[in-house]
Amino acid sequence: MMNPVQRTVFRSVLVLIAMFAFAFALVPLYDVFCRITGVNGKVDERAQTLVSEEVDESRYVTVQFITRSGSGLPWILDVEQRQVRVHPGQPTEINFAFTNQSGSALSGRAVPSVSPSQASRYLRKVNCFCFDEQRLEAGERVEMPLVFQLTRDLPKDVNTVTMVYTLYPVAEEKAQLQAQVAPGSGGDA
Amino acid sequence: MAPKLPPHHSLQHSSTTATAGGQVHDDHDHHPQPRGIMRWLLTTNHKEIGSLYLIFSLIMFFIGGIFALVVRAELFQPGLNLINPEFFNQMTTMHGLIMVFAAVMPAFTGLANWMIPLQIGAPDMALPRLNNFSFWLLPVAFTLLLSTLLMPGGGPNFGWTFYAPLSTTYAPPSTTFFILSLHIAGVSSILGAINIVATILNMRAPGMRMMDMPLFVWTWLITAFLLIAVMPVLAGVITMMLMDINFGTSFFDAAGGGDPVLFQHLFWFFGHPEVYIMILPAFGIVSAIIPTFARKRLFGYASMVYATASIAVLSFLVWAHHMFVVGLPLAATLFFMYTTMLIAVPTGVKVFNWITTLFRGSITFEVPMLFALAFVVLFTIGGFSGLMLAIAPADFQYHDTYFVVAHFHYVLVPGAVFSIMAAVYYWLPKWTGHYPSEILGKWHFWLSVIGVNLTFFPMHFSGLAGMPRRIPDYALQFADFNLVSSLGAFLFGFSQLIFVWVIIKCVRGGVKAPAKAWDGAEDLEWSVPSPAPLHTFETPPDFKPVQH
Amino acid sequence: MRKMLALMTGGGTLFGGASLAHANGWNMPVGVTDLSAEIYTLHMTIFWICVVIGIVVFGVMFYSLFKFRRSKGAKSAHFHENTTVEVIWTAVPLLILVGMAVPATATLQKMYDASDAELDVMITGQQWRWRYEYLGEDVAFNSNMSTPRAQITGEEERGEHYLLEVDEPLVLPINRKVRFLLTADDVIHSWWVPDFAVKQDTIPGFINENWVRINEPGIYRGQCAELCGMDHGFMPIVVHAMEEDEFDQWLVERKEAAEAEAMGVDREWEMDELMERGEQVYGSICASCHQADGGGSPPAFPGLAGNQELIDDVDWHIDVVLNGVSGTAMPAFRSNLNPVELAAVVTYSRNAWGNDTGDAVQPAEIVELLE
């Protein structure tokens, strides 16, 4: 039987442990929260299925594509069209091309972001090169598609959606470590 | 609110004798008392540990203050005059970290150690050995933190809020030590908080109900709960940083699928309650001092308790008001704007209660009262600027400018720091048996008030006019404001030497104080002799609650 | 109530108006967009509400302090509770807050509406400069602080726009809605122009949005607002707002200039030409970290003068400049500088400060590497 002081300490320590765990739990919770609300223009990082819904031909939405290279990866990401006009509900395919300009094989990843952030809730990516890491041999060029659909319930005041892809290197040993240490953060991105 | 006990009553259960030098001989203690440094290293006495905390925090207040003066000296005139931008960033960062974690927080813990057992009639803290451990962690933590300044690449230079990725991918190599020292300081705070909760919940004098406790005890109880709830979150965040830096994870690195904004959410989930950790005990102190010198019971005791509790609850729901410009969705911005504005309500209640306590009192202006009154006025001004900052659209203009610097220094310097000084002047007679010098105390007070306002008031203007914070050099239109701020900072800084002088003088001698050093003081601590003997309330006092 | 508000903001204009005409402001600028003026009004309204509350609260306080002094023989009363007043001073502030929240919400909703923009500008924060790209127009450039080092160290007299001047300002049209897409290459920065009431963090890997519709032509200045490392204080923003037709003409000229520069890659450049151009580029891009004398500030920013790795390996040198070094402060300049600038700056740092390798890297070589 614990005395009252021990009981207080025991309870405090329980709260303590719970809050420490909560801090780590916030990492996946935040991801979920972002996907639901579209904070930060985070996009679902898994493929979604195409929903066949009637195309809303009464309005056009301009979709822009921007590709950027981060530091440390001598790659180029090209997009065949910088801008397309689509109807909500209409499935669209756009080709992107990765080129490794260096003399050695490298792994990289294109990290997606969408603006305005609330639009990410209405963006359904059926297939995207950004779901996976890419590995390119020296000088290799790979074409990869993005298949997406803007849902019909896209708010009326959104008439431009900008998708940005930033290239980042994936270090070999880092990639392995991520798989081990932080499945919640690094692994699924 | 608590009844005063006649002095002879308390003398009965005080079986110790104290000499003027502070050397104490305890009749009951059968173990040989270690002497010299070992006595302080091994002490488990709440009063001695309280003194250790207070001395430590005073030293750190000066170290943090010197860093601030280096910053202000650089900003005295436009141009890079004294230090390079890299060192400037280290100074602003270290100033913030030291003042928050090593000066203000330990000072409040020291006051809690000294006064909570005395105010609730307990013989000591509930866990005396843990108490010793949690103090001695602090010098270790902050020696480590200060030593990073000498490491290659310098100390932390990313601001006390250490936003990733500036504090991870782009940080100096010493960052791992910064994280370690923060971990140690965090453990110390958590252990201190657990001890305080255990003491307050279990060791009150028989007959003292929760709603009979002095407000300082109440505010500290709530503060301790906040500490237990959010320090682990800080520990979590810095652990994630550590893993990002050393183990290749990507919690906050977009390259690996992480998110820098997540860092800010986690940090401010800790950081905003942390802000209230630094102000709630101050509310308790002011709520003790104002009734004493107005010679009138605190107005609205119960509403004070409820207001403190609601501020604590709200503090968990407002964190993203620090992040209005990171690109939150509209709905989130609105939510955090409304909750933040709501905090003005319980805070207002507190201010109204203090002023109503003054109304139709019988007021005198001893030094502790002067500091407490300055607290009410200047803290309220900080509250007003806080309300302005809560208005999200306007915050897009205020954010990360000197207006914010002015705001949080108004709540932390004439807020938290003044309340600590008020507490020191108020309780020094109890600690040393002597009154602090009234003349020197008034010099200290007036120079501090003038210095603080000269330093921080112009920052409102430079901020509104467009000066961003954390810059080592500035455009010419901000020169006048910065000149005044720097002069004020040096005035404030050097006035604190008077404070040290007052304390040393008071420890060494002065006008003898009776058990009840202030004629309007009511709480239990005034029933034991001055200076308070090493062991008090070994038999619980006879506590008779005031009828509400 | 509305009359009172108008009165208050009127007073506000008086309060700020006197100083606004000058650079020596001490209040928030009214600014040059509808939103900035609205935010200013909101700011002043809340300021005056706070002043009024302050006068009442401090009035009662100082009255009490004066009137109920013991030295004047005041005897303390005994009341210490009153539920009615407690309810009143909880409810009244609540009502005042609701009054503040209503206009604040309305303004916020307008700020968040970036739809129907006529021009998109991508703003990228980098340690320590801004990069502007006019989307769909093939115009992009870096904007560096142009205040000379000698002014900062005090060897030279400081100019009127000390620390708030750049080599190439962002040029925008008035009366058109311009959408900003903001991101960063390294750490978080924050793009802030007070006259537009636009402040938005730029976050590496993520994109943020904001917008502006400027009402008056002019030159507007701002600064980076988020601590971003060593030279955070030295990455100003200058926006040159032009009449619409003037802007269209500028855009055409800017495109032509970019094309002309692109032509430069086909010819062989002389060493002197490369060194001259390289010194320029080095001064505006590289010197903030690696220092004008190539000494660097190790360990974060390695020195280039006498750097054996650099002297020995020209391919490695070009690779680092083009692609950056992952996990360090060295960014990739492949898309930030054009081939001529890249060739020139590499040539310069291989031959300046006694490095004397004699290598002249030609723009054509860079073009080859970039394709």
Q: What is the pLDDT of residues B269-289, one digit of tens each?
A: 999 999 999 999 999 999 999
Express as a percent the part of chain B with pLDDT over 90.
83
Q: Which amino acid is at A94?
A: I
**Domain boundary, last residue among B223, B238, B268:** B268
> Does any domain span residue B454?
yes
Question: What pLDDT digit, counting tens, does each position of A95-152 carry?
Answer: 888 888 777 788 888 888 888 877 877 888 877 877 778 888 878 888 888 888 888 8
Q: Is the CB of residue C109 less than 8 Å away from at least one CB of chain A?
A: no
Whether residue B167 sits in one domain with residue B250: yes
Is B276 a catalytic site residue? Answer: yes
Q: Which of B158, B326, B334 sits opposite C105 (nearest CB)?
A: B334
Q: Which of B230, B275, B237 is nearest to B258 (CA)?
A: B237
Residue B230 contacts by C-beta under 8 Å, 6 or more apart in sequence? A19, B269, B270, B273, B274, B277
In chain A, what residues touch C136 (CB-CB under 8 Å)? 82-83
Element (H, E) at B421: helix B418-432
- Cite the DSSP H helix spans in B75-122: 85-97, 105-120
Question: What pLDDT digit, counting tens, does each position of C90-121 carry?
Answer: 999 999 999 999 999 999 999 988 878 889 99
CA B441 to chain centre: 20
Tell me the C-alpha distance between C2 and B537, whole Å.
62
Is B322 a catalytic site residue? Answer: yes
Considering the domain C2-69+80-111 in this protein, what is its CATH number? Answer: 1.10.287
Among left, alpha and beta (phi > 0; psi -120 to 50; other), residue B421 is: alpha
SS3 of C73-112? CCCCCCCCCCHHHHHHHHHHHHHHHHHHHHHHHHHHHHHC
Tell me the C-alpha distance between B56 and C209, whole Å.
47
Residue B167 contacts by C-beta under 8 Å, 6 or more apart in sequence? B156, B158, B175, B241
Whether residue B249 sits in one domain with residue B288: no
Burial B351-360 (b: 16+ CB within 10 A, else e): bbbbbbbbbb
How much is the pLDDT for A14? 92
Question: What pLDDT digit, counting tens, does each position of B219-268 carry?
Answer: 999 999 999 999 999 999 999 999 999 988 888 988 877 889 999 999 99
Whether residue B283 sits in one domain with residue B263: no
Catalytic residue among B72, B183, B204, B322: B322
CA C193 to chain centre: 6
How much is the pLDDT for B9? 38
* CB C321, CB C369: distance < 8 Å: no
> Does any domain span residue B431?
yes
Q: Is the CB of residue C50 less than 8 Å away from at least one CB of chain A?
A: no
> Does any domain span residue B40?
no
Is B462 a catalytic site residue? Answer: no
* Mutation for testing the C interface, residue in B166, B334, B366, B478 having most C CBs under 10 Å: B166
Cβ of C334 and A69 within 8 Å?
A: yes
Q: Which of A8, A41, A188 sits opposite B197 (nearest CB)?
A: A8
Express as a percent the part of chain B with pLDDT over 70.
94
Is B538 a catalytic site residue? Answer: no
SS3 B523: coil
Instruction: Please name the residues between 178 and 237 in chain B that touch chain C, using a CB distance below 8 Å.
Output: none
Give C360→chain B minimum CA distance, Å.
32
How much is the pLDDT for A102? 75
Mean pLDDT in residue range B146-163 = 93
Q: Which of A81, A88, A89 is nearest to A158 (CA)?
A: A88
In chain A, what residues touch C330 (CB-CB under 8 Å)? 71
Mean pLDDT in residue range B68-93 = 94
Confidence of residue B48 (pLDDT cuts 50, 70, 90): very high
Cβ of C227 and B89 within 8 Å?
A: yes
> Does any domain span residue B87?
yes
Q: Is the CB of residue C51 less than 8 Å away from at least one CB of chain A?
A: no
Using CA coordinates, name the residue in chain A closest to C319.
A74
**Domain boundaries, given as residue ranges, for chain C:** 2-69+80-111, 119-262, 267-370
Confidence of residue B32 (pLDDT cuts 50, 70, 90): low
Catalytic residue among B469, B473, B501, B542: B469
**Domain boundary, last residue among B247, B268, B289:** B268
Q: ∠C124-C126-C130 over CA atoms, to 5°?
A: 55
Domain housing B507: 279-532
**Domain boundary, last residue among B268, B298, B315:** B268
Confidence of residue B384 (pLDDT cuts 50, 70, 90): very high
Q: Which of B360, B391, B471 sits opposite C42 (nearest CB)?
A: B391
Burial C174-184 (b: 16+ CB within 10 A, else e): beebbbbbbbb
In the CATH hierarchy, which top-level class contains the domain C119-262? mainly beta
What are the structure tokens assigned to C95, written together?
A: 């009502």
CATH value at residue B66 = 1.20.210.10
Which range, of B23-27, B298-302, B531-535, averages the lowest pLDDT? B23-27
Which range, of A171-180, C70-79, C287-296, averages the lowest pLDDT? A171-180
- Cite the DSSP H helix spans in B247-316: 260-277, 280-294, 301-314
Confidence of residue C259 (pLDDT cuts 50, 70, 90): confident
* CB C313, CB C350: distance < 8 Å: no
Using CA coordinates, name the residue in chain A closest to B257.
A189
Count: domains in chain B: 2
In chain C, what residues touch A74 (CB-CB under 8 Å)? 319, 322-323, 332, 334
Mean pLDDT in residue range A59-84 = 83
Confidence of residue B383 (pLDDT cuts 50, 70, 90): very high
Q: What are φ and ψ of residue A167, in 5° steps?
A: -80, 130
Instruction: Please name the residues between 394 and 413 in chain B that touch chain C, using a CB distance below 8 Å.
Output: 394, 396-397, 399-401
Is B460 a catalytic site residue? Answer: no
CA atoms lying within 13 Å on the CB side of residue C333:
26
Checking if the pLDDT of B428 tops 50, the result is yes
> Does any domain span residue B10?
no
In chain C, what residues touch B392 (CB-CB under 8 Å)? 104, 108
In chain B, what residues touch A26 (CB-CB under 8 Å)? 262, 265-266, 269
Cβ of C322 and A74 within 8 Å?
A: yes
Give B102→chain A minimum CA distance, Å.
22
Is B160 a catalytic site residue? Answer: yes
Confidence of residue A44 (pLDDT cuts 50, 70, 90): low
> Does any domain span residue B21?
no
SS3 A24: helix
Confidence of residue B547 (pLDDT cuts 50, 70, 90): low
Instruction: Please name the residues between 120 and 179 in chain A that touch chain B, using a CB distance below 8 Å.
Output: 166, 168-171, 173-174, 177-178
> Does any domain span residue B136?
yes
How much is the pLDDT for B17? 40
Q: Which amino acid is at B542?
A: D
Mean pLDDT in residue range C255-262 = 80
Is B287 a catalytic site residue? Answer: yes
Q: Where are the beta strands (DSSP E) in A24-159?
A: 61-69, 75-79, 83-86, 92-100, 106-115, 123-127, 134-136, 141-150
Whether residue B449 sits in one domain with residue B414: yes
Checking if the pLDDT of B525 tops 50, the result is yes
Q: How many CB atoms lie within 10 A of CB B435?
A: 20
**DSSP structure string for B192-216:** HHHHHHHHHHH-PPTT--GGGS-HH
Tell me the C-alpha distance between A99 and C122, whole Å.
23
Question: What pLDDT digit, counting tens, does each position of B84-127 carry?
Answer: 999 999 999 999 999 999 999 999 999 999 999 999 999 999 99
In chain C, what residues touch A64 (CB-CB under 8 Å)? 120, 135
pTM (two decimals): 0.88
Element (H, E) at B340: helix B330-342
CATH topology of domain C267-370: Cytochrome Bc1 Complex; Chain D, domain 2 (1.10.760)
The CA R_g of chain C, rounded to the nearest whole Å, is: 28
Is B170 a catalytic site residue? Answer: no
Whether residue B346 sits in one domain with residue B314: yes
- Residue with more model confidence, C17 or B41: B41
How much is the pLDDT for A177? 43
Question: What pLDDT digit, counting tens, does each position of C174-211 carry?
Answer: 999 999 999 998 899 999 999 999 999 999 988 898 99
> Does any domain span residue B14?
no
* CB B518, CB B366: distance < 8 Å: yes
How much is the pLDDT for C281? 85
